[in-house]
């Protein structure tokens, strides 16, 4: 039974493919069939170029780049698997073919040379039934050609040179989000920027490294080894200049236990020549809470939640060391009158020994979700 390979026209964007030279037999077959399919020549203008895009095991993108004078009338795209092309060629009804009408949809109209339309193959080859079920699979190669339309369907370019692109190899996998979390953090401070360091200030600096560069929950959610107090003792006994290394370990829901090495170099350099620890303290904190997890909220419970955001993500001293504006009582009143679901925002301002006055905006989104 012949496999049907015609598909409906729709907009697409193609992900990460690799463009490879065609097999000589494939290329000879393709060139001859493309010439036959073109028939009588039309007014010629710039031929589009096919460029590799991204790919996964089940997605494939080809970037179509407009040639001279663009493709204001749209594009004709043809494709088929390399195996089917090798066996059947273009002119037997097996090829996928879509006309992207630039007059009907501006997204398909490329006005200028160099304009790019990303073509997602996976959006064009799905359907119902055995013949239409052509979902992309891993380690599969496709041959593409494209033609530009100018000022209407009667003016067309030649078809582009053929390009063969492939999905990723089977079981190639992708990036594991847990592997993307940095495991080594390095920063530099100038000695003159470190004024009368305190345990609180040292811990806030290391917490800021974790929060800003990994987005992991910070101390006291995890532990430092050696503790920050040991680094402060080292600093005071050595006169400041030196290397301060600790390992932060924290348990996470998605990635299990993670350890991050944090190395801070304190150097004898001009003030401002290193990282300003005060600039590393986050000024905007956002969180989401499910309504079902909030039982009989109290002023004490509300304040404890916002204090935990400050303590865990900035290392700053919490209320009553600083003030909330609007006060937490106002947020609680809002919660009780609105039924709970909504956005609760307040600014926390506190004066620190090392960084002066700092204001942090805290936004808590309460949603109707399952805890």
Task: Give residue 226's pLDDT.
Answer: 93
Strand, helix or coil for residue 49: strand
Tens of pLDDT, residues 305-346? 888 788 777 778 878 888 999 999 999 999 888 888 889 999
In whole numbers, what is the pLDDT of the chain averaged over residues? Answer: 75
Band of the pLDDT at 4, cuts 50, 70, 90?
A: very low
Whole-prediction pTM:
0.38
pLDDT digits (tens, 9 = 90+) for 93-119: 667 778 888 777 777 888 888 888 888
Q: How high is the pLDDT of residue 114?
A: 84
The full DSSP string for 232-297 is HHHHHHHTS-EEEEEEEEEEETTTEEEEEEEEEEEES--TTSS--GGGGS-SEEEEEEEGGG--S-
Where exactly are the structural domains of the chain? 18-166, 175-280, 281-371
pLDDT at res. 275: 60
Given this chain, do its domains 18-166 and 281-371 carry the same CATH topology?
Answer: yes
Give the pLDDT score at 30. Answer: 42
CATH topology of domain 281-371: Immunoglobulin-like (2.60.40)
DSSP state of 4: P
Q: Judging by DSSP bridges, how do beta strands 342-352 and 323-325 pair with one another?
A: antiparallel
Q: Which are the contacts of 108, defined by CB distance < 8 A and separation ≥ 6?
A: 11, 74, 75, 100, 101, 102, 117
- The percent of residues above 70 in pLDDT, for the chain, comes to 77
Average pLDDT over residues 47-69: 82
Report the top-level CATH class of 18-166.
mainly beta
Q: How confident is the model at residue 135 (pLDDT cuts 50, 70, 90)?
A: low
Q: How confident is the model at residue 230 (pLDDT cuts 50, 70, 90)?
A: very high
């Amino acid at each position: 039974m012949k496999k049907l390979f015609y598909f409906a026209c729709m907009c697409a964007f193609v992900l990460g493919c690799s463009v490879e030279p065609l097999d000589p037999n494939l290329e000879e077959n393709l060139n001859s069939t493309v010439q036959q399919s073109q028939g009588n020549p039309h007014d010629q203008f710039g031929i589009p170029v096919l460029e590799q895009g991204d790919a996964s095991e089940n997605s494939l993108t080809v970037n179509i780049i407009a040639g001279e004078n663009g493709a204001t009338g749209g594009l004709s795209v043809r494709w088929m698997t390399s195996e089917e092309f090798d066996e059947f060629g273009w002119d037997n009804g097996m090829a996928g073919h879509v006309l992207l009408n630039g007059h009907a949809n501006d997204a398909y109209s490329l006005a200028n040379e160099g304009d790019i339309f990303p073509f997602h193959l996976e959006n064009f080859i799905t359907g119902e039934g055995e013949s239409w079920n052509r979902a992309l699979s891993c380690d599969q190669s496709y041959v593409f050609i494209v033609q530009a339309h100018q000022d209407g369907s009667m003016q067309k370019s030649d078809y582009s040179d053929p390009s063969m692109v492939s999905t990723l190899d089977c079981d190639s996998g992708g990036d594991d989000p847990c592997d993307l979390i940095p495991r080594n953090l390095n920063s530099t401070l100038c000695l003159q920027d470190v004024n009368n360091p305190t345990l609180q200030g040292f811990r806030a600096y290391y917490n800021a490294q974790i929060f800003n560069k990994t987005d992991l929950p910070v101390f006291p959610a995890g532990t430092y080894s050696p503790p920050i107090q040991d680094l402060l003792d080292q600093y005071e006994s050595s006169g400041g200049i030196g290397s301060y290394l600790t390992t932060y370990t924290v348990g996470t829901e998605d990635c299990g236990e993670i350890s991050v090495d944090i190395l801070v170099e304190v150097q004898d350099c001009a003030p401002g020549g290193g990282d300003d620890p005060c600039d590393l303290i986050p000024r905007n904190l956002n969180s989401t809470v499910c309504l079902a997890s909030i039982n009989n909220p109290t002023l004490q419970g509300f304040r404890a939640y916002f204090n935990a955001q400050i303590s865990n993500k900035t290392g700053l001293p919490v209320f009553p060391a600083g003030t909330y504006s609007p006060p937490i009582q106002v947020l609680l009143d809002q919660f009780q009158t609105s039924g709970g679901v909504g956005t609760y925002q307040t600014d926390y301002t506190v004066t620190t020994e090392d960084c002066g006055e700092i204001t942090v905006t805290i936004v808590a989104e309460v949603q109707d979700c399952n805890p």
